Structure 1
Amino acid sequence: MSSGPAAAGGSIVPTETDWNDAWYLVCMKVSTIGFVVVDARERVAALDALRNTGVADLSRHLDANPAVADRLRRGMIILDVNEAAVRMFGAAGRADMIGQRTQRFFDPSCTAQINSARAFAGGATSFQQQARSVRIDGSRFDTLFCVVPKADGTTSGFWLASFVDITEHVQRQTSLDALRDELAHVSRISTLGELSASIAHEIGQPLSSIGMTASAMLRRLDGEDIDRDTLRRQCQRIVDQVARAGDIIDRTRRMAAKRGGTHSPVAIADVLAESVQFVQHELSRNAIGLQVVGSGADLIIRADRIQLQQVFVNLLMNAIQIHRQAGTPEPMIRVEIVREDGAIRIDVADNGPGIDPDHVGQLFDGFFTTRADGLGLGLSICRTILAAHGGSIAVPSRSGQPGATFSVQLPL
């Protein structure tokens, strides 16, 4: 290691070369993180060639040309590795990895390599992503993959990649996700139990209509003059009511099903409308008014439809139960849909007695409840579901106003 000029007091001031040497020593000889020095000049040249041929949108070009993407994945050769990388990838020694193309150590489904190419082509100076890595023996494990220009801050094509084994973390997160889904399922079953009378009433209405329509048809068939048009309309009415009953049963079955979360584009207005259908009989039975402000028809989010229904059904049922217990005069629930920058806010407000200030800090804690027959899971599950969607739930202050408001925010 070279030395720079002496500083005041006779100490030695390290030069840039000293720092680079020390940096390399720590990474390659001391660190417990797996470090890999990569020759990416082949990839850099391929990216330059794409730019020279007029490719402006690299991501779109790679999506349309898988062969080009594959060449970029292969365009990186391992020059050096540290002992931590040797152990992590199950190699007998450094020679097992040096000279290999980095593609060998990534699962074919992993997007980390091609995403790093997109990032650096776009001007990024560093990149990191969770990756699915492959050991020498072919076994898979999860890593946090990071890559930066090696030492001098240039993008000449010599890069330093690092790997942190996060397999245990991913397994713990998977277990937590499974536990969250299990608790959400328990909460849904509990909610459906509370709504059993409403569901029975909902199904009873189309069944009653079917029975009355069929009886009317039989009477007409017993008569001398058969009006085919009238019979046709009555048959159609039966078909419509059967479809209505089927929709109620399907909706209830989906809510009760034990299933993993599946995110897809959904219109928030549709989710809210379906949630209101679940509680409509409870609203009518308790003479509670419902006001929905803002259509939200064009507001699309990526979410699990059933889990979001669970959130809004829970909030609506909480408001209904508060009104029922408090005997609120002229009870009302107001649902307001508000578009914000890059997000959507849904406020569920009631004009009941409000929330005890002593309980505000505990509302979203698991198993906290003020109801003798409550599980204390509802609001906690709501918060967990929304967090998994990149959203949140809060209880904003309503100074001078009656009742309580639960404010849900979700990214568009």
Structure 2
Amino acid sequence: MSVGLAPAADRLIVTTEADWNDAWYLVCMKVSTIGFVVVDARERVAALDALRAAGITDISGYLDAHPAVADRLRHGMVILDVNEAAVRMFGAAGRADMIGQRTQRFFDPLCTAQVNSARAFATGATAFQQQAHSVRLDGSRFETLFCVVPRADGATSGLWLASFVDITEHVQRQTSLNTLRDELAHVARISTLGELSASIAHEIGQPLSSIGMTAGAMLRLLDRDNLDRDLLRRQCQRIVDQVARAGDIIDRTRRMATKRDSVRTLVSVAEVLTESVQFVRHDLDRIDVRFSLACAGSDALVQADRIQLQQVFVNLLMNAIQIHRHARTMMPEIMIETSDHGASVVIDILDNGPGIDPVNAERLFDGFFTTRAEGLGLGLGICRTIVAAHGGSIEAGARSHAPGARFSVRLPLHRT
């Protein structure tokens, strides 16, 4: 195959070496900020064709099951030409340092971009883009936005054009912002736990009190002449159960207080809400709140950090409780309702308190804004940040047909 491009009626076709100076090529090669690489992908195209000829239709699944084949595809591309931006980006002395090398030399061994591009083109894609872990000639790593398109229609010629944009600084800034967000979230959790200290102490006190009473009863049983072993066994089991309950409370509190990296898993919205209510149960009881939790579609699942979602709902519940406490609401109510909206689930936290002051409505989610003298003003701002990081949204407003406030959290649903 000759390498080069010449203009045809409405497209560009592969022809001879002398035609590399046509317009599209000049534009790409002269760009000073984007690294362009012309790639000979004939080996990869031939390998994919061989898989199809063997009757394999699910090429993506086949590559998952045969990592050696996927690795061969990573090695199946050779660099034909590069522009000066690519030379600088990859730390080469000149174009000759890169031309003729196989492309995997410039990707981290664990980077999936090359194999994923093969999957994409095998299923009919006309372009591919992914963040990639790239490697300079001196071995140093950096982050790029990697894009590749087949130069000719259908990707059958094997002449592909790849581009690299160095996004290392952007990734570092994003990492710093995520770290700052997690730091603020941790501060807000500690603040919330401080407000919940009476509730936590009460929760732990209940099983400890039960353990003490049961142990006293066991001592009295041991003083009897006719020892009832079955009753003694039941009392021992009661102590074991209460110890487990106290341990669960301590573990739950420790998880909320621990500073750690965000970990996202598939979680049940109903379970997270139930766990969040456990944190504030004593505070609900202290002001005699009539509380209800109604989960429509209790099997709703979201991809989320369980502790961060708990933080959001605990904070919203605590705000509602404090509003009732300060306003001295007659017959206070707090309701949680969930509803399925196709691609998302909406969780509404409703109360029958005085509602949201219109003067404060626009500033409600601003950092360090608070209407309470003892408040830090971090809670609602962190709630919005956490929800947004999960691809969702949060809003506040008045209830539709009753007095009070409504906070609505919308999260994308995980569909199996």
What TM-score does the superposition give when structure 1 sets the normalisation length?
Answer: 0.93
Contact 2:121–2:155 under 8 Å retained in 1:
no
Q: Residue deviations 1:294-342, cap 9 Å, x none?
A: 2553222221111111011001101101111111111111111112212
CA apart distance, 1:401: 2.6
Residue identity in the other structure for 1:27: C
Residues 215, 16 of structure 1: CA spacing in aligned structure 2 closer, same or farther, 3 A cutoff? Answer: closer
1:262-281 maps to which residues of 2 (within 5 A)? Answer: 262-281=263-282
CA distance, structure 1, for counterparts of residue 241 and residue 398 of structure 2 = 46
Does 2:190 align with 1:201? no
Unaligned runs of 5+ in 2: 1-5, 13-18
Q: Secondary structure at the match of 1:362?
A: coil
CA deviation map 1:350-395 (0-9, x unaligned)? 1111111122211111111111111111111111111111111112
For 1:91, the aligned partner's letter is A
| 1:127-177 deviation line (CA, Å, top 9, x unaligned) | 111100000011100000011122667542211100000001111111111
Residues 213 and 41 of structure 1: is their aligned pair in 2 closer, same or farther, counting only changes over 3 Å?
same
* Mapped partners of 2:62, 2:10: distance in 1: 43
Cross-structure match for 1:123: 124
Q: Note the C-alpha offset of 1:19.
A: 12
Write out aligned runs for 1:139-218 (5 A): 139-150=140-151, 155-218=156-219
Q: Which residue of 2 aligns with 1:234?
A: 235
Match of 2:112 in 1: 111
Give the distance between the partners of 1:256 and 1:226, measured in 2 at CA. 45
Larger CA deviation: 289-298 vs 37-46: 289-298
Tell me which amino acid in the other structure corresponds to 1:50: L
- Give, in whole Å, the separation in 2 of the partners of 1:245 and 1:119: 52
For 1:271 and 1:400, locate their aligned partners in 2 and report how far apart those are by CA, in whole Å. 28
In the aligned structure 2, how far is the partner of 1:358 from the partner of 1:20? 64
Looking at structure 2, the residues matched to 305 and 164 of structure 1 have their Cα atoms a distance apart, in angstroms, of: 35
Unaligned runs of 5+ in 1: 5-13
Q: Percent identity?
A: 75
CA distance 1:397–1:75, change in 2 (3 Å): farther
Distance (Å, rounded) in 1 between the aligned partners of 2:202 and 2:153: 73
How far the C-alpha of 1:16 sits from its partner, in A, is 6.0
Q: Which amino acid aligns with 2:186?
A: H
Q: Contact 2:186–2:257 (CA<8 Å) still a contact in 1?
A: yes
Whether 2:223 is the aligned partner of 1:222: answer yes
Whichever residue aligns with residue 25 of structure 1, its letter is L
Report the counterpart of residue 95 of structure 2 in structure 1. 94
**CA distance 1:57–1:154, shift in 2 (3 Å):** closer
1:308 maps to which residue? 309
Q: In structure 1, give the amino acid aligned to 2:107.
A: F
Comparing 112-121 and 152-161, the one that deviates more: 152-161
Report the residue type matching 1:312 in the other structure: F
**2:43–2:76 Cα contact (<8 Å) kept:** yes
Could you say which residue in structure 2 is the equivalent of 1:336? 337
TM-score normalised by the chain length of structure 2: 0.93
Which of structure 1's runs of 4+ aligned residues deviate more than 3 A?
14-20, 151-155, 396-400
The corresponding residue for 2:28 is 27
Could you tell which deviates more after superposition, 126-135 or 352-361? 352-361
**Root-mean-square deviation (Å):** 1.9
Letter of the 2:403 partner, please give it. Answer: P
1:57-81 superposed Cα distances (whole Å, 9 cap, x missing partner): 2221111000110111111111000
